[in-house]
């Protein structure tokens, strides 16, 4: 692997001091809070409880003093509404003294609860806009931090009726659910010391960097985050010379700066490298608790954009900025671990540990099989539809990769046959030790949507700009459900070991169809998956209705993740966002065609005709074939493009008149997207035969090789 040599903007020795310097973390709390307050706060954090009002004031004051010393002037409740990005409303610390002076103040009440005027956040009908008020409440399981001279307090966002209006509330609920069910299982295995089980996540983030000046010249990039026009460049990623390639100086400077900003926020930015496509890169953090990892990933995306600007670059996080070039994803590495430091998805040393590992593993297998639809829903978006199944990202079919070794072991357990040909060993759960699995990359299948990588699962279907809250809510909940079913069965068992073996065997038999170790990009897999009865929900419009399927409503309400009303509201929001995004893209397309492309084609064609006429005037036999033929083709293309834009605009009117949101989404998928593809084809052909100086915006070659 080619590791970049980063310019040293930070003295290496300063990194430990720099790390987390903008975070009101445990270290700072211990230092700045009275002992009793610190203890009470820690307890609140560990148990995920609300903060006692009697200590909130003390904590708030210490936080404020710390923040002001670091240059902060404002505070905000930082939350994650369903828009997919984070929201904040800044208030300053100043408080009038009465004599024309001010002091800096921050009360316990202000720390614990905020009331943003939340009427314009999406609620999917949960909160009528006239009762505009939702409230935010501090989530003490995530540390406060300083960003842009503002003390940010991570919060949840709810309506006054108690319904969640954000992504964090259900995420915390799902972590509670899996904690509860996993503890039941651990108890059955005789565990006495574990008091908390958390899921952990390390999200690998892909992104593109292009020159900001070129970005500014493209309305599609500015408004939609992706190009709606553009011919494939002569050189794309076919040579695969970019992956892990030497990092260019400008990019290296960006990465060094980014790392420093992230470290200050206590974010474990670890690995930076080039990705497959030109101008594409990746940043991987070290994993942490899911709640914190989610906050950090949001901050990471925001910081990437900000730091890019500082370097005259634009950071593209959209899932598919360039047609014909790999899009960007996010790999959600996920595992379950105890507060005693045991990774429950890591095969252990003893037969008992291994039996426990196998039980958690089969719970995940069953979960992924039974809730394929929800996993698909959790990554569904208009942008991601361009990636999934496009032979660069996993297909829309959810399956699971376990690798040959582990698959063989499961087969042996299921059939009771010998595990290895060599030693004829029969695997018995709870009796035998599992053989060592290779944990390195050799056994990896990069085409799988959900791969076991030795001690964790890597969920690879996420688009790059997605909040990881959604997929992790689903993962935590579906695995909690299976653990709950397992616990119900095992708690009743007369002979634990026997019941365990039988449960694992049955689960493998009933759910092994979800395991696929082959090439997920192949056409044969699509057919094979259909034979196995696996779902293939190709688009967001097809996937979203599963969110409110009766079996899923039952799941979410049983574990108190979403109420039925919350589910319906989220379904509405997701559908609406899908339609709105496509509408914005279509409108942008029509505007670019009418105001930039068609005039450019016309101008160039007329200059060609003028030249041809001039040639003719000079001499009858001066050939003007290039000019006349190109002008002819351009005229045909502009006529056709014009017609297609009219059709697109007509269809947009039709779409707007469809009242059922599900039907509207289908219409966008079946008509608008097709209209757009057809219009694009004409424009891209015209680009290929037009003089560079006439083309109104930067081409793919310019964009992709601009840095
Ligand atoms: P790659 O997939 O690029 O080969 P690694 O397998 O080393 O890289 O790690 C990928 C990501 O998985 C990293 O962000 C890492 O922190 C994360 N990861 C490692 N262990 C766990 C775990 N137990 N839980 C969640 N994420 C993990
Ligand atoms: Mg990876």
Q: Indicate whether 128 pLDDT > 80.
A: no
Structure confidence by residue, pLDDT tens digits, 528-559:
999 999 999 999 999 999 999 999 999 999 99
Mean pLDDT over 622-630 rounds to 96
In this predicted structure, what is the pLDDT of residue 480? 98
275 lines ligand 1 (CB under 6 A): no
Q: Give the closest residue (by CA) to ligand 1 atom 23.
A: 335
Structure confidence by residue, pLDDT tens digits, 490-509:
999 999 999 999 999 999 99
Token duo for residue 416: 């009771």
Q: Indicate whether 348 pLDDT > 90.
A: no
Q: Indicate whether 29 pLDDT > 90.
A: yes
DSSP 118: -
468 lines ligand 1 (CB under 6 A): no
Helix/strand/coil for 78: strand
Alpha carbon distance 206, 282 (integer Å): 4
CA distances from 122 to 2, 298, 438, 575 (A): 44, 18, 46, 12
Structure confidence by residue, pLDDT tens digits, 131-152:
556 888 888 888 999 999 999 9
Token duo for residue 110: 């202000």
In this predicted structure, what is the pLDDT of residue 130? 45
Q: Closest by alpha carbon to 317, among 474, 463, 499? A: 463
Q: Could you tell me if 207 and 328 are in contact, meaning their C-beta atoms sit under 8 angstroms apart?
A: yes
The bound ligand whose nearest atom lies closest to the alpha carbon of 333 is 1
Q: Indicate whether 424 pLDDT > 70.
A: no
Say how far residue 342 (Cα) sits from the centre of its chain.
26
Among 19-28, 159-168, 520-529, 593-602, the range scoring the smallest mean pLDDT is: 159-168
Distance from the alpha carbon of residue 326 to the mean position of ligand 1, in angstroms: 22
Q: Give the closest residue (by CA) to ligand 1 atom 6.
A: 453
pLDDT class of 7 with cuts at 50, 70, 90: very low
Of 54 and 432, more confident: 54
pLDDT class of 441 with cuts at 50, 70, 90: very low
Q: Indicate whether 9 pLDDT > 80.
A: no
199 lines ligand 1 (CB under 6 A): no
Among 70-79, 222-231, 266-275, 354-363, the range scoring the smallest mean pLDDT is: 266-275
Helix/strand/coil for 314: strand
Model-level pTM?
0.93
From 284, 437, 446, the mutation candidate for ligand 1 (largest count of ligand atoms within 8 A of CB) is: 284
| Mean pLDDT taken over the chain | 91
In this predicted structure, what is the pLDDT of residue 3? 38
Most confident of 153-167, 228-242, 653-667: 653-667
Q: Indicate whether 43 pLDDT > 70.
A: yes
Alpha carbon distance 235, 233 (integer Å): 5
Distance from the alpha carbon of residue 40 to the mean position of ligand 1, in angstroms: 33
In this predicted structure, what is the pLDDT of residue 436? 61
Say how far residue 285 (Cα) sits from the centre of its chain.
14
Alpha carbon distance 169, 182 (integer Å): 20
Distance from the alpha carbon of residue 260 to the mean position of ligand 2, in angstroms: 23
In this predicted structure, what is the pLDDT of residue 443? 55
Strand 134-138, strand 150-159: pairing: antiparallel
- Strands annotated E in 392-488: 450-452, 457-463
Q: Could you tell me if 386 and 470 are in contact, meaning their C-beta atoms sit under 8 angstroms apart?
A: no
Distance from the alpha carbon of residue 315 to the mean position of ligand 2, in angstroms: 21
Distance from the alpha carbon of residue 287 to the mean position of ligand 1, in angstroms: 6
Distance from the alpha carbon of residue 437 to the mean position of ligand 2, in angstroms: 18
288 lines ligand 1 (CB under 6 A): no
202 lines ligand 1 (CB under 6 A): yes
Q: Could you tell me if 347 and 490 are in contact, meaning their C-beta atoms sit under 8 angstroms apart?
A: no
CA angle 430, 336, 360 (to 5 degrees): 30
154 lines ligand 1 (CB under 6 A): no
Mean pLDDT over 243-255 rounds to 85
Alpha carbon distance 50, 34 (integer Å): 19
284 lines ligand 1 (CB under 6 A): yes
Beta bridge partners of 388: 393
Q: Count other Cβ atoms within 10 Å, centred on residue 125.
A: 11
Question: What angle, 0 to 180 degrees and rounded to 10, lies between the N-to-C axes of helices 564-592 and 550-558?
Answer: 120
Atom of ligand 1 nearest to the CA of 285: 14
The percent of residues in the chain predicted with pLDDT above 70, rounded, is 92
List, in order, residues 6 or more apart from 252 with CB less than 8 Å away.
Answer: 4, 5, 6, 7
Helix/strand/coil for 492: coil
Q: Burial code of 432-445, b = ≥16 C-beta within 10 A, e = fewer?
A: bebeebeeeeebbb
Structure confidence by residue, pLDDT tens digits, 102-125:
888 899 989 988 887 666 777 777
Alpha carbon distance 173, 476 (integer Å): 9
Structure confidence by residue, pLDDT tens digits, 456-477:
999 999 999 999 999 999 999 9
In this predicted structure, what is the pLDDT of residue 281? 94
Distance from the alpha carbon of residue 204 to the mean position of ligand 2, in angstroms: 7
Helical (H) or strand (E) element with 525: helix 523-531
696 lines ligand 1 (CB under 6 A): no
Q: Could you tell me if 378 and 474 are in contact, meaning their C-beta atoms sit under 8 angstroms apart?
A: yes
Helical (H) or strand (E) element with 213: helix 212-216
Alpha carbon distance 491, 604 (integer Å): 78
Q: Give the closest residue (by CA) to ligand 1 atom 1.
A: 441
Distance from the alpha carbon of residue 305 to the mean position of ligand 2, in angstroms: 22
Q: Could you tell me if 682 and 641 are in contact, meaning their C-beta atoms sit under 8 angstroms apart?
A: yes
338 lines ligand 1 (CB under 6 A): no
Q: Closest by alpha carbon to 456, among 275, 203, 283? A: 203
Helix/strand/coil for 493: coil
Mean pLDDT over 669-683 rounds to 97
């Amino acid at each position: 692997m080619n590791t970049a040599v980063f310019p040293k903007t930070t003295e290496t020795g300063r990194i430990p001091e720099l790390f987390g310097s903008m975070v009101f973390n445990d270290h700072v709390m211990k230092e700045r809070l009275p002992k009793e307050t610190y203890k009470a706060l820690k307890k609140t954090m560990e148990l995920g409880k609300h903060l006692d009002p009697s200590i909130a004031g003390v904590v708030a004051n210490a936080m404020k003093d710390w923040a002001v010393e670091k240059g902060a002037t404002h505070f905000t409740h930082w939350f994650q509404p369903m828009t997919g990005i984070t929201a904040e409303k800044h208030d300053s610390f100043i408080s009038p003294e009465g004599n024309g002076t001010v002091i800096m103040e921050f009360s316990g009440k202000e720390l614990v609860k905020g009331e943003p005027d939340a009427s314009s956040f999406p609620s999917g009908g949960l909160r009528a806009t006239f009762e505009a008020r939702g409230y935010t409440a501090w989530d003490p399981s995530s540390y406060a931090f300083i960003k842009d001279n503002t003390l940010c307090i991570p919060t949840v966002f709810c309506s006054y009726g108690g319904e969640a209006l954000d992504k964090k509330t259900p995420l915390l609920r799902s972590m509670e659910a899996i904690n509860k069910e996993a503890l039941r299982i651990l108890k059955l295995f005789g565990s006495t010391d574990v008091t908390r089980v958390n899921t952990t996540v390390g999200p690998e983030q892909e992104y593109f960097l292009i020159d900001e000046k070129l970005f500014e010249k493209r309305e599609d990039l500015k408004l939609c985050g992706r190009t709606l026009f553009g011919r494939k460049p002569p050189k794309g990623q076919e040579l695969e010379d970019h992956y892990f390639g030497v990092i260019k100086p400008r990019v290296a400077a960006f990465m060094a700066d980014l790392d420093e900003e992230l470290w200050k926020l206590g974010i474990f930015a670890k690995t930076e490298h080039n990705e497959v496509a030109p101008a594409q890169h990746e940043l991987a953090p070290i994993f942490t608790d899911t709640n914190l990892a989610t906050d950090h990933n949001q901050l990471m995306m925001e910081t990437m954009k900000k730091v890019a600007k500082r370097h005259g670059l634009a950071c593209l996080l959209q899932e598919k900025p360039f047609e014909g070039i790999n899009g960007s994803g996010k790999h959600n590495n996920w595992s379950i671990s105890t507060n005693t430091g045991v990774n429950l998805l890591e095969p252990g040393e003893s037969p008992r540990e291994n039996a426990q590992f196998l039980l958690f593993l089969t719970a995940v297998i069953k979960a992924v099989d039974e809730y394929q639809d929800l996993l698909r829903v959790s990554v569904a978006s208009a942008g991601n539809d361009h990636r999934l199944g496009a032979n660069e990202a996993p297909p829309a079919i959810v399956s699971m990769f376990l690798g040959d070794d582990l698959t063989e072991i499961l087969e042996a357990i299921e059939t009771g046959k010998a595990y290895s040909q060599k030693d004829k060993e029969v695997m018995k759960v709870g009796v035998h030790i599992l053989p060592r699995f290779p944990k390195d990359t050799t056994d990896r299948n990069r085409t799988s949507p959900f791969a076991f990588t030795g001690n964790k699962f890597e969920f690879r279907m996420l688009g790059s700009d997605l909040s990881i809250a959604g997929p992790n809510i689903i993962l935590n909940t579906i695995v909690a459900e299976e653990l709950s079913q397992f616990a119900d069965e095992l708690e009743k068992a007369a002979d634990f070991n026997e019941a365990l073996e039988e449960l694992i065997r049955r689960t493998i038999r009933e759910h092994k169809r979800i395991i696929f170790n082959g090439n997920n990009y192949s056409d044969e897999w699509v057919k094979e998956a259909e034979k196995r009865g696996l779902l293939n929900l190709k688009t967001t419009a097809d996937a979203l209705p599963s969110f409110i399927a009766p079996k899923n409503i039952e799941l979410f309400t049983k574990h108190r993740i979403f109420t039925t009303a919350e589910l319906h509201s989220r379904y509405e929001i997701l559908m609406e966002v899908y339609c709105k995004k496509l509408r914005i893209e279509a409108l942008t397309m029509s505007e670019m065609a009418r105001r930039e492309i068609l005039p450019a084609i016309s101008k160039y064609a007329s200059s060609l005709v003028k030249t041809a006429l001039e040639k003719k005037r000079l001499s009858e036999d001066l050939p003007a074939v290039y000019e006349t033929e190109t002008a002819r083709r351009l005229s045909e293309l502009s006529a056709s493009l014009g017609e297609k834009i009219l059709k697109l605009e007509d269809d947009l009117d039709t779409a707007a008149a469809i009242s059922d949101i599900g039907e509207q989404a289908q219409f966008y998928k079946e008509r608008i997207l097709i209209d757009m593809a057809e219009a694009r084809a004409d424009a891209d052909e015209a680009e290929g035969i037009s003089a560079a100086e006439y083309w109104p915006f930067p081409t793919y070659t310019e964009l992709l090789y601009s840095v």
